[in-house]
Amino acid sequence: MPTKTFSDGEMVMGRWPGSHLFYEVQVTGYNKSTQLYAVKYKDGTELDLKESDVKPLNYFKTKKGSSSRQRSRSRSRSRSPARTQTPKRSSSRGRETKKPVQKEEVQKKNLPPVKFVHQLQENSTNSKTTSVIDDKEEKEENNSKNTYRVVEHKIRREIVTDQLGLPYNLRAKKEEGKVVELETKDDHLYIKKQAAWTQEWEFGGRVGAFFIMILLPAAVILLLLTCAQEDASFLNFPPQIPALQTLWSSTALGIFVLWFLFQALLYLLPIGKIVDGLPLANGKKLKYRINAFYAFLLCGAAVAAALYNEVNLSYIHINLLQLAISAMAFSLVLSIYLYVRSWRVPADELAVGGNSGSFVYDFFIGRELNPRIRNFDLKYFCELRPGLLGWVVINLGLLFAEMESQGRDAPSLAMVLVNSFQLLYVMDALWNEEAILTTMDIVHDGLGYMLIFGDLVWVPFTYSLQAFYLVNHTSELSWPVALAIIALNTVGYIIFRGANSQKNAFRRNPHDPKLAHLKTIPTATGKSLIVSGWWGFVRHPNYLGDLIMALAWSLPCGFNHIIPYFYVIYFACLLIHREARDEYQCRKKYGVAWNKYCQQVRYRIFPYIY
């Protein structure tokens, strides 16, 4: 039985779960049966760590090294998430003084070169921490005195199963997933399999996922049928259902597929800058081309050319249901493809949330985090292009349909407002394309039926309900009312854009002088939380702004029916649920610091209400 190496009260370096960062911590106890050390971080977080995650204070001590080692140090620093927060910044602003000592700080104190030693358990069947090492200059030593292989190396990247979102528990548990198998070859270690099983079920688990998958298409069809009725009331249930054979149109399917391929072509155009995504759990960063706004302009030109050639966009209104059903069929096929291909990708490329082992659940949530065909990133593409641009074109088609069906020379003011507000929203998303790289969808969720259906069907065909409603239901707005609605939308937009840009800029460069006025709370992960500005107003100011805009999009339709308000009601439910999911993840990530943030910023979305 291993003996206790560190004594109670001793200051040591403790690994932060799910990262390769070590902080100064105090040993507060030792459990003989579990062989775990209880440690306390400087920010107050208390955790149980296994012995290999606890190092003596002088562990990262300097050593006269070769030039290769010097290179090693600079490389490992540049990859360290701790770079986002230097002690200078924290102290200069007089914020939290209790800040965990980070690996870099230790390095700085002990300049010159660092010998960074990383330990791997020889028999790693219990180990949840694995490393991929790919530098041939590395030297490997076998220490025969104990059961460890000590590897002196440049840390290329580190894969920690906890980084994939598993709750941090340092004891190996059978149900936490498959054993990690390591294979050594020369100085390299390769991962053959990695544990990454879903620990938490969302959306009601497999039963919930099953019913959501059935209900979503039914809901879209029901909404479109209800909205098309003269008395567009949900009380008129069920709405008139057309003959089944009329619901399917191969022309509509052809148009949808062509639209998808056209967008894919625009996506592949070699224009626009290339940026890095956030670091993945395996240490890699994917490259993304930023050209969605060019795609928008080219689409605009294509639609203008179609109108010039007298293409009748009212086709969209007449065949909206058929187009939606085609999109559903396409989404189903694409989701099946994604599920099948996910079995061929390495385990460290899976999304932890969609890797439960249940077919229904994983198919719904999505197994693979970033499915790519060569450089074509399917999730990044679907999130912004075919659905959002499709929504704009559908709205435009409905605008022409309104003029046609109501015999107008110009669209109604209500229709102009709805079209303009939603066009602004889409243009904003495309203009700020890079910001999507830090959203939950890209960072956390796999690509499965949920996102595919959401992107290709739900967004274009239900977000356009207000415009669809206005085709057959007149709503005459006075200018004062219209101006009040425009003001509401502007307020919503300012909050939404201000909050998203502030957080995005801060996450990209926390040392940006433009953000120097912001107060922050440091967290033990090295990232800070903004606690003033928009993010000090409520905990999700971007959701608040989005919801205000959603209301402004519905108001032009008047108050005769609830269906134009479907979007704002559904969206409130979605964002409240999303906020809860995010809150849970953030509490897990940031622990005590998150609690401090919640104490200082008490309301989640709506000030003084929720």
Half-sphere exposure (Cβ direction) of 355: Cα atoms closer than 13 Å: 29
Closest CB to ligand NDP among 299 and 436?
436
* One character per residue 432-471, x = contact with ligand NDP (rule: CB under 6 A): -------xx-------------------------------
Instruction: Output 416 or 586, the one with its CB closest to ligand NDP.
Output: 586
Rounded CA separation 486/327 (Å): 32
How far apart are CB 529 and ligand NDP at their closest, in Å?
Answer: 4
Q: Is the bond preceding 346 in cis, omega lying within 30 degrees of 0? A: no
CB of 527 to ligand NDP, least distance (A): 6
For residue 471, give both structure tokens.
């085709």
Q: Residue 319 or 466: which CB sits closer to ligand NDP?
A: 466
Number of residues that bind ligand NDP (CB under 6 A): 20
Report, in Å, the least distance between residue 503 CB and ligand NDP.
5
User: Please, what is the minimum distance in Å from the beta carbon of residue 587 to ligand NDP?
Assistant: 10
Give dist(CA 441, CA 559) in Å, integer: 34
Quickly tell me which residue has 């930023």 as its tokens.
290
Q: Are the C-beta atoms of residues 525 and 586 closer than 8 Å to each other? A: no
Tally: H helices and E strands in the chain: 22, 18
DSSP secondary structure, 511-573, as one string = T-GGGTT--EEE-TTS-EEE-STHHHH-S-HHHHHHHHHHHHHHGGG-SS-SGGGHHHHHHHH
Contact 225, 239 (CB under 8 A): yes
Q: Which is nearer to ligand NDP, 179 or 586 (CB)?
A: 586
Closer residue to ligand NDP (CB): 135 or 441: 441
Continuous H helices in 555-591? 566-590
Q: By three-state DSSP, how is residue 345 classified?
A: coil
Helix axes 320-342, 250-268, angle to 10 degrees: 60
Residue 224 gets which letter from DSSP?
A: H
Q: How far is the CB of 352 from ligand NDP (least distance, A)?
A: 15
104 binds ligand NDP (CB under 6 A): no
Q: Residue holding tokens 């659905």?
A: 387
Answer for which of 103, 128, 289, 540 binds ligand NDP (CB under 6 A) is 540
Residue 414 or 538: the one with the smaller Cβ distance to ligand NDP is 538
379 lies in the binding site for ligand NDP (CB under 6 A): no
Return the number of the residue (102 or 322) whose C-beta is nearest ligand NDP: 102
- Report the amino acid identity of residue 599: Q
- Find the part of the chain contacting ligand NDP (CB under 6 A) among 144-152, 194-202, 247-255, 535-543: 535-543
Own/partner long-range contacts of 25-30 (Cβ < 8 Å, ≥24 apart): 25/54, 25/100, 27/54, 30/4, 30/6
For the CB of residue 571, give the shortest distance to ligand NDP in the complex, in Å.
7
Residues 544-583 that bind ligand NDP (CB under 6 A): 546, 578, 582
Nearer to ligand NDP, 118 or 578 (CB): 578
599 Cβ contact list (under 8 Å, min separation 6)? none
Alpha-carbon distances of 67 from 59, 136, 140, 313, 457, rounded to whole Å: 21, 15, 18, 66, 56
Give 371 or 510: the residue with its C-beta nearer to ligand NDP. 510
Closest distance of CB 180 from ligand NDP, Å: 25
* Per-residue binding letters, 150-189, with ligand NDP (x by CB under 6 A): ----------------------------------------
Instruction: Give ∠ CA 261-263-266 in degrees, rounded to 5.
Output: 110
Scan residues 118-147 and list those touching ligand NDP (CB under 6 A).
none
**Greatest alpha-carbon span in the chain:** 90
Distance CA 581, CA 575 (A): 10
457 vs 477 by CB, closer to ligand NDP: 457
From residue 585 to residue 604, the character string flagging contacts with ligand NDP as x (rule: CB under 6 A) and all else as - is xx----------x-------
At 593 the three-state DSSP class reads helix
Q: How far apart are CA 146 and CA 122, in angstroms?
A: 10
Quick one: 406 or 439, whose CB is closer to ligand NDP? 439
The distance of closest approach from Cβ of residue 586 to ligand NDP in the complex, given in angstroms and rounded to an integer, is 5
**Of positions 535, 553, 566, 567, contacts ligand NDP by CB under 6 A:** 535
Q: Tell the burial category of 305 from Cβ atoms under 10 Å away from its Cβ (0-12, 13-18, 19+).
A: exposed
Q: Which of 330/493 has CB closer to ligand NDP?
A: 493
> What is the bridge-based pairing of β-strands 11-15 and 54-56?
antiparallel
Contact region for ligand NDP (CB under 6 A) — 169-177, 234-242, 416-424, 539-547? 539-547
Residues 488-527 that bind ligand NDP (CB under 6 A): 496, 500, 503, 506-507, 527
Contact 608, 544 (CB under 8 A): no
Q: What's the Cα-to-Cα distance from 262 to each of 291, 299, 302, 309, rounded to whole Å?
A: 14, 9, 10, 19
Q: Does 207 bind ligand NDP (CB under 6 A)?
A: no
Supply the minimum distance, in Å, between the C-beta of residue 407 and ligand NDP. Answer: 34
Q: What are phi and psi of 342, to 5 degrees?
A: -65, -20
Q: Does 89 bind ligand NDP (CB under 6 A)?
A: no
Q: Which of 350, 399, 529, 557 binds ligand NDP (CB under 6 A)?
A: 529
Is position 115 an interface residue for ligand NDP (rule: CB under 6 A)? no
Binding of residue 53 to ligand NDP (CB under 6 A): no
Please, which residue, 37 or 535, has the CB nearer to ligand NDP?
535
Q: How far is the CB of 415 from ligand NDP (least distance, A)?
A: 21
Helix/strand/coil for 158: strand
Place of tokens 């964002």: 575
CA distance 43 to 36: 20
Q: Which residues bind ligand NDP (CB under 6 A)?
A: 439-440, 496, 500, 503, 506-507, 527, 529-530, 535, 540, 542-543, 546, 578, 582, 585-586, 597
